[in-house]
């Protein structure tokens, strides 16, 4: 992998990640941009104790641009985009409309490929390994920022999820606090350790592997299963067999096997609802240990992949119980979901 750092016309950082070491990246951003000004701030909810990002400037962000005006495509044929080069492998840059900025954190965009009409599942294993390397590199760099407590790499896919740009891309949020979801996991892990003397994540993985009922896919280095109390109709958790806190801890063997396992999971998701359905909308989310929180040593890196589609043509909406009280009601038994995902294996 070769990494090349540059700056966009408004001062934002942009990073090229290339498979070839001899790739030269010297194209200059020629757009007449003014420096980005954001009003992002973090407010604490006194009742729930969690943090809310207030980012009203995001109302002006690009929304479903017409064909030929995608800001994530390369700059070609006289049209200038967010990526100055005429082609690229993987690119990461600071978001022009960030939810978090300055002392309130940082938001980055990850363009998985220059091909506007592709999706992550279309990538080959080498290219997927490059994306993993980019995620890892950004975790390393963002962890060094004094205001950052946790790094979250994720992909939203599909208009049903709320994606505003169709180009295959993901995001990275560098939070200045530990997120509520992670805080709850750390609390559960601490309680489990105090009561059993064991690691909660290790016990969860061991139970699923031993049972096999909700297993979806296994490898030498990774295991994927539908969780016992899945929140979403089709939800898979992917763990490395050797527990590490974040992407920085993965060894060479885990990195080498990840592309095959992950691509197969994405392709199975797309086969779930048949060829007559539109591509499956999903969220793919890396859960990494916060950098300074108590209990970090007990946390386990894992990826959660889920879709809001419960059957062909029908979505799972977060209505009264879910949105009002955070009590999920799942329409699909986890065991049935796991069986469907096993049956969707590549022929």
Residues noted as catalytic = 169
CA neighbor of 292 nearest in space, from 183, 181, 184, 133: 183
What string of H, E and C letters represents the secondary structure of the chain?
CEEEEEECCCCCEEEEEECCCCCCCCCCCCCCCCCCCCCCEEEECCCCCCEEEECHHHHHCCCCCCCCCCCCCECECCECCCECCCCCCEEEEECCCCCCCHHHCEEEEEECCCCCCCCHHHCCHHHHHHHHHHHHHHHHHHHCCCCCCEEEEEEEECHHHCCCCCCCEEEEEEECCCCHHHHHHHHHHHHHHHHHCCCHHHHHHHHHHHHCCCEEEECCCEEEECCCCCCCCEEEEEEECCCCCCHHHCCHHHHHHHHHHHHHHHHHHHHCCCCCCCCCCEEEEEECCCCCCCCHHHCCCEEEEEECEEECCEECCCCHHHHHHCCCCCCCCHHHHHHHHHHCCCC
């Amino acid at each position: 992998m070769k990494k090349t750092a540059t700056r966009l016309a408004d001062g934002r950082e942009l990073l090229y990640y290339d498979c070839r070491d001899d790739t030269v990246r010297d194209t200059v951003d020629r757009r007449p941009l003014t420096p980005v000004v954001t009003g992002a701030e973090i407010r604490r909810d006194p009742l729930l104790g969690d943090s809310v990002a207030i980012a009203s400037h995001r109302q002006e962000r690009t929304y479903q641009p017409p064909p030929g005006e995608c800001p994530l495509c390369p700059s070609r044929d006289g049209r200038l985009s967010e990526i100055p080069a005429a082609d690229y492998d993987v690119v990461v840059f600071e978001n022009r409309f960030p939810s978090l900025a300055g002392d309130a954190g940082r938001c980055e965009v990850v363009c998985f490929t220059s091909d506007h009409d592709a999706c992550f599942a279309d990538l080959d294993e080498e290219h997927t390994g490059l994306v993993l390397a980019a995620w890892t590199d950004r975790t390393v760099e963002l962890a060094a920022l004094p205001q950052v407590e946790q790094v979250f790499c994720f992909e939203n896919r599909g208009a049903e999820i709320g994606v505003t740009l169709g180009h295959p891309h993901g995001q990275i949020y560098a939070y200045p606090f530990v997120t509520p979801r992670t805080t709850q996991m750390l609390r559960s892990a601490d309680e489990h350790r105090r009561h059993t003397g064991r690691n909660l994540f290790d016990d969860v993985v061991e139970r699923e592997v031993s049972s096999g009922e909700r297993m979806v896919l296994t490898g030498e280095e990774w295991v994927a299963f539908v969780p016992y109390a899945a929140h979403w109709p089709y939800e898979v958790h992917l763990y490395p067999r050797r527990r590490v806190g974040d992407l920085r801890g993965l060894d060479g063997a885990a990195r080498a096997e990840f592309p095959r396992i992950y691509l197969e999971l994405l392709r199975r998701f797309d086969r779930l609802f048949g060829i007559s359905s539109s591509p499956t909308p999903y969220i793919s989310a890396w859960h990494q240990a916060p950098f300074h929180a108590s209990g970090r040593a007990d946390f386990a890196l894992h990826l959660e992949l889920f879709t809001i589609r419960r059957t062909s043509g029908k979505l799972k909406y977060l209505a009264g119980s879910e949105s009002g009280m955070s009590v999920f009601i799942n329409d699909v038994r986890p065991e049935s979901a796991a069986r469907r995902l096993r049956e969707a294996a590549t022929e």
